[in-house]
Chains A and B, each alone.
Chain A
Amino acid sequence: MAPEVREPALRAGGAPDGHRARAGAAAWIVGGLAIVALLAPVIANERPLLARVDGRLIAPAFADLPILGPLFDAPVVRSIPWYQKETGRAIVLLRPPVPYSYRGILLDDALLPPGRRHLLGTDALGRDLLARLIHGTRPSLLIGFVATAVSLLLGLFLGALAAMRGGAADLLIVRLVDVVACFPPFVLALAFVAASGHGGLWPVAAGIALNRWTGMARYVRGEILRHRRGDLWASARATGASAPRLVVRHLLPLLAGPLAVMASFGVAHAIVLESSLSFVGFGVEPPAPSWGTILAESRATLDAAWWPVVFPSLGLLVTLGALCLAAERVGGAGRGRQEPLF
């Protein structure tokens, strides 16, 4: 299928060197999003960061942190208003920057536009949109990156295996790629998630990964086949390098740039696909908010409220933009290493 012809194209936007700095900033944005994703419970929470109850110092918001959470045993049902009510025995020492959680329902605040109390407004159930977006970063990025990483690994491994082993293995893998690639992406993801019985982060990520690896596998296989004919290969073999070593040490860097571009759009595409799955009832399980489910839920209130549509879309835009720039940087780096060799 001659995938190597993709290569020049996928060597990204070919950012001029002057753009390196901007690409670096983009990498910082992605890193920042990842930090927001990890620290979401202490950025937006309806429980205090630090409080004193009956003379004891507790840190209730920290109990929601991934991994570290269990270290902070605290009443999960008590929100800030409770501490304020119990003036005698409790006092809030430190509030989170956004004093709402992604799940705190305040029906009286339903569909409030952005304002002082709720910076980005509220959804149909009166949940703070900013808090939901902050907490939504984690599932969205997880789905985006996990699905992309899985498809990348699968594609690399199977693509390389097919090219290196040849023969029956090659035939089998090429067939498998052809078979899977024939299914329309949404259909495959939907069928997979439906078959797993229910939605949820991992089935969704797996369903998305399932149909994105084929393009990568085709590309990797084609590239390796092409380079095998080159001089590099022969000379490297002559020095006694093993095949896996050749692939990892010498070929991988050559493929890094194009794969990075595929991956950056892959992450964005996974986030969008999760939203489509949410529309048909197979997204992340509620009340966990992903940007996709926030978007899907916003559809019902589109006539009255623009904020639940616009802000998650902006989140997607920033992520995609940053990833594209970051990918250009990776692409540039890959090429830098490539030039002396050829």
Chain B
Amino acid sequence: MRSRAAVLLAVAAGLAVVCCSPPPGSGGGPAGGGAGYGGRFVFPLRFEPKTLNFVSVDEQYGVLVLRLVGDGLVDHDAGLRVVPRLARSWELSADGRRLTFHLRPGVRFHDGVPLTSADVVYTYERVIDPESRALTWMDSFLPIERVEAPDPVTVVVTYRAPYAPALHGWDVPILPRHLYEREDFATSRFNRAPVGTGPFRFESWDPGRRIVLQANPDYWAGRPYLDTFVFQVIPSQETTLQALLAAEVDFAMLTPVQWEAHAGSAAFGRRFRALRYLPLFYYYIAWRCDGSNPFFAEPAVRRAMSLALDREGYVSRVLRGNGRIASSLFHPAAGGADPDAPDLPYDPEAAAALLDEAGWRARAESGLRERGGVPFRFTLLIFSGGEDHLMFAQVAQESLRRIGVEVAIERLDWPTLSQRLRKGDFQAALSGAVPGVDPDGVFAMVHSSQIRGGRNYAGLHDAFVDAWLEEGRRTVDPGARADLYIKIDRRLRELQPYAPLFFPVVQAAFSRRFRAVEPSPRGILDHYPGAARIALDGDGA
């Protein structure tokens, strides 16, 4: 069960497709190149979504399905840029507080009822209503003051203060108000049989087995190429690979070891195209640096820790080169990272010297470090559901032991780990993060307002970081904003409240029966037009 991380990766895989996309908005429609209509594409899901309610969905896999059934006002393309979807265009007022969307006219839900701005307002209301548990979207809507619908094709969103990342949150699929209004929202039958405006219509859901979608012939951007899209629930990674080889699924992400063992053969190459991308996911270690433990309050010690971790060795030997060292909390595709900053190398000697300087000296007899009688011995919490978590934690443990620091590893399931992280009840923790598509995503991890109960697990409280982050939210001008985040990135590299570890590069196989799509950092499905571009390959079929 390497559940959650794997989910993310898989999800990411679901999203990224490149290539031959026409300008966003032109949707499907044969674009030549031998592509044809028809066919049935089977995509493996590691976990079954609990609900297909557009706003209550809280697993990445559920989001994957819903992106095909519903449309957001905007979406992200393979390069994570915001592109129009249900909204034809939008503009931001001069003070940066008012965002006006102009909806595409004539869009209909799968039941034939036209979509209007009232549906958008309704979707917003459901997201912020706690009863809907819309944790996936709520954070991007909390800064909103009100949402109005002056006419059926216009939506005006007013923010309490200028909010630079505003657009990103409007990729939430729009709910059909006319259907939900007559039902109890939490238990509505449409939560298991969603109705949207998207390129595919929901057809059936066999619990524990599969979700089947059919092409929407009346899609506003033209019908998608595929007739049928099947999400097949396959909980085991080994079985997913076997299913790929047995042609039961048309796409699969493989582990580095699986890739090495299978992808080299000519037969594999004839049947599958290789897709490779840097997912919107990385691993990090949070050092609780609020003084609650005697180890990590000083930046020099945290830096020493990062220097002592053999990340290169892990990426090259354990991941078989399918990884990239992360040295910033910002994702390369999302912006924010300082392009000139050097990576922290693996340098145990420099780490030992830093620790000596900080007063943590090795005892001659045991070789273990201590300061003022306190041994340097801490517990590293890790998520029990991930393979890489466990493997890298053991590498970290061994790396640190070699410089005289003792680490105990404790594995916890997600609810328990999450609770201890949010309470600050830990010394160090290894976990994974999905950086935002906007650099503001890092706000949650390092702003001091997020220490209590929030996601600033490290407990970092730095006046500069706080001020720049707040300014970054207000600054609408892209150039000035980019400069701010580079300053933040430099400061964070210096402070090292988190040690960013590595991105696990995704290796996926895509059946040659279909024209491949370019992956985005979120995979082959979770971008636009994404799945609408998958088509039977004229030559291969």
B367 → chain A closest CB, angstroms: 4
Cβ-based interface call for B131 (8 A) = no
Q: Which residues of A contact B397 (CB under 8 A)?
A: 103, 286-287
Query: Is there contact, CB below 8 Å, between B413 and A124?
Result: no
Query: Is there contact, CB below 8 Å, between A304 and B394?
Result: no
The residue of chain B having its C-beta at the shortest distance from the C-beta of A105 within the complex is: B398
Query: Is there contact, CB below 8 Å, between A75 and B367?
Result: yes
Cβ-based interface call for B410 (8 A) = yes
Query: Is there contact, CB below 8 Å, between A110 and B318?
Result: yes
Main secondary structure of the interface of A (DSSP, over half): loop
Tell me, in angstroms, the Cα distance from A300 to B317 when the chains sit together: 15
User: With A105-B398, A107-B395, A124-B391 in contact, do A281 and B258 touch (Cβ < 8 Å)?
Assistant: no
Query: Is there contact, CB below 8 Å, between B398 and A104?
Result: yes
Query: Is there contact, CB below 8 Å, between B367 and A304?
Result: no
Residues 378-393 (chain B) with a chain A CB within 8 angstroms: 384-385, 387, 390-391, 393
Cβ-based interface call for A73 (8 A) = yes
Q: Which residues of A contact B393 (CB under 8 A)?
A: 286
B416 → chain A closest CB, angstroms: 6
Tell me, in angstroms, the Cα distance from A295 to B319 when the chains sit together: 20
Query: Is there contact, CB below 8 Å, between B365 and A75?
Result: yes
Cβ-based interface call for A302 (8 A) = yes
Cβ-based interface call for B507 (8 A) = no
Cβ-based interface call for B404 (8 A) = yes
Chain A window 63-80, contacts with chain B (Cβ cutoff 8 Å), 1 for yes, 0 for no = 000000000011111100
A302 is contacted by which of B2, B238, B316, B413 (Cβ under 8 Å)? B238
Q: Which residues of B contact A74 (CB under 8 A)?
A: 365-366
B409 is contacted by which of A76, A78, A279, A286 (Cβ under 8 Å)? A286
Q: Which residues of A contact B262 (CB under 8 A)?
A: 303
B367 is contacted by which of A78, A107, A287 (Cβ under 8 Å)? A78
Tell me, in angstroms, the Cα distance from A302 to B412 when the chains sit together: 25
Q: Which residues of A contact B366 (CB under 8 A)?
A: 73-77
Q: Which residues of B contact A19 (CB under 8 A)?
A: none
A239 → chain B closest CB, angstroms: 57
Chain B window 138-153, contacts with chain A (Cβ cutoff 8 Å), 1 for yes, 0 for no = 0000000000000000
Query: Is there contact, CB below 8 Å, between A286 and B390?
Result: yes
Q: Which residues of B contact A287 (CB under 8 A)?
A: 394, 397-398, 409
Cβ-based interface call for B200 (8 A) = no
Residues 202-248 (chain B) with a chain A CB within 8 angstroms: 237-238, 241
Q: Which residues of B contact A300 (CB under 8 A)?
A: 2, 237, 255, 257, 387
User: With A107-B395, A197-B416, A286-B390 in contact, do A280 and B411 touch (Cβ < 8 Å)?
Assistant: no
Tell me, in angstroms, the Cα distance from A198 to B416 when the chains sit together: 9
Tell me, in angstroms, the Cα distance from A82 to B238 when the chains sit together: 40
Tell me, in angstroms, the Cα distance from A303 to B262 when the chains sit together: 8
Tell me, in angstroms, the Cα distance from A78 to B401 when the chains sit together: 10
Query: Is there contact, CB below 8 Å, between B401 and A77?
Result: yes
Tell me, in angstroms, the Cα distance from A107 to B318 when the chains sit together: 7
Query: Is there contact, CB below 8 Å, between B390 and A107?
Result: no
Interface residues on A, range: 35 or more
Cβ-based interface call for A17 (8 A) = no
The residue of chain A having its C-beta at the shortest distance from the C-beta of B401 within the complex is: A77
B301 → chain A closest CB, angstroms: 18
Cβ-based interface call for B438 (8 A) = no
B257 is contacted by which of A76, A280, A301 (Cβ under 8 Å)? A301
Cβ-based interface call for B402 (8 A) = yes
B402 is contacted by which of A77, A107, A285 (Cβ under 8 Å)? A77
Residues 399-457 (chain B) with a chain A CB within 8 angstroms: 401-404, 408-413, 416
B353 → chain A closest CB, angstroms: 16
- A77, A103, A279 — most chain B CB neighbours (10 Å): A77
- B310, B385, B387, B394 — most chain A CB neighbours (10 Å): B394
Q: Which residues of A contact B368 (CB under 8 A)?
A: 76-77
Query: Is there contact, CB below 8 Å, between B1 and A280?
Result: yes
Q: Which residues of A contact B374 (CB under 8 A)?
A: none
Tell me, in angstroms, the Cα distance from A183 to B366 when the chains sit together: 48
Residues 324-380 (chain B) with a chain A CB within 8 angstroms: 362, 364-368
Q: Which residues of B contact A304 (CB under 8 A)?
A: 257, 260-261
Chain A window 307-334, contacts with chain B (Cβ cutoff 8 Å), 1 for yes, 0 for no = 0000000000000000000000000000
Cβ-based interface call for A227 (8 A) = no
Tell me, in angstroms, the Cα distance from A287 to B396 when the chains sit together: 11
Q: Which residues of A contact B411 (CB under 8 A)?
A: 198-199, 281-282, 285-286
Cβ-based interface call for A246 (8 A) = no
Cβ-based interface call for B314 (8 A) = yes
Q: Which residues of B contact A125 (CB under 8 A)?
A: 318, 391, 394-395
Q: List 23 A-B contacts (CB under 8 A).
A: A73-B366, A74-B366, A75-B365, A75-B366, A77-B402, A78-B367, A105-B398, A107-B316, A108-B313, A124-B257, A124-B318, A125-B394, A125-B395, A126-B317, A198-B411, A198-B416, A281-B384, A281-B411, A286-B394, A300-B257, A301-B257, A303-B238, A303-B257
Q: Which 4 A-B pairs have the closest CB atoms?
A: A281-B384, A77-B367, A303-B261, A107-B317
Task: Add 11 more A-B contacts to A108-B313, A286-B393, A303-B257 (CB < 8 A).
Answer: A74-B365, A76-B366, A104-B398, A125-B395, A198-B416, A280-B1, A285-B409, A286-B411, A300-B387, A301-B257, A304-B261
